[in-house]
Amino acid sequence: MSERLQPGDVAPAFTLQDADGNEVSLADHKGRKVIVYFYPAALTPGCTKQACDFTDNLDLLAGAGYDVLGISPDQPEKLAKFRDTESLKVTLLADPDKSVLEAYGAFGEKKNYGKTYMGVIRSTIVVDAEGKVERALYNVRATGHVAKIIKDLGI
């Protein structure tokens, strides 16, 4: 199980493919704050709700200096379908080998209906303009999470 990040940690660098196969790096956002959120699977109810909430609040977040990146283990083709089906505006990134999920502590042991298994831990990491972790939120709920982030960040 990967270590969870703490405020003040340097956010692990990454370069992943977006829904169109273009490479996107955390370094591309240097000088801006970034909300990096990790979700289990595109085109599922909870993940759709969360992605739509981020899309609905993207202008507000961008106006406050935040970029939003959503990362899941899905392939870019599935992310493109997700984006197009739900009219998403957030940047979705593919991490099929789960290396970034693990680096951010967003992949590990989960329990569901009494079964223990390895999976994506729904998490949100807020990275400041210097590339350091400002907030690290794990086991977040899909519904209401974006509103809580906006409130907590004072936007």
Residues with active-site annotation: 47
Cα–Cα distance between 134 and 151 in angstroms, integer? 15
Cα–Cα distance between 50 and 59 in angstroms, integer? 16
Q: Nearest-CA neighbor of 69 among 123, 105, 6?
A: 123
Q: How far is CA 30 from CA 2, 20, 129, 144, in A?
A: 25, 22, 6, 28
Which helix or strand (DSSP H or E) is residue 94 part of? strand 91-94
3-state SS, residue 42: coil
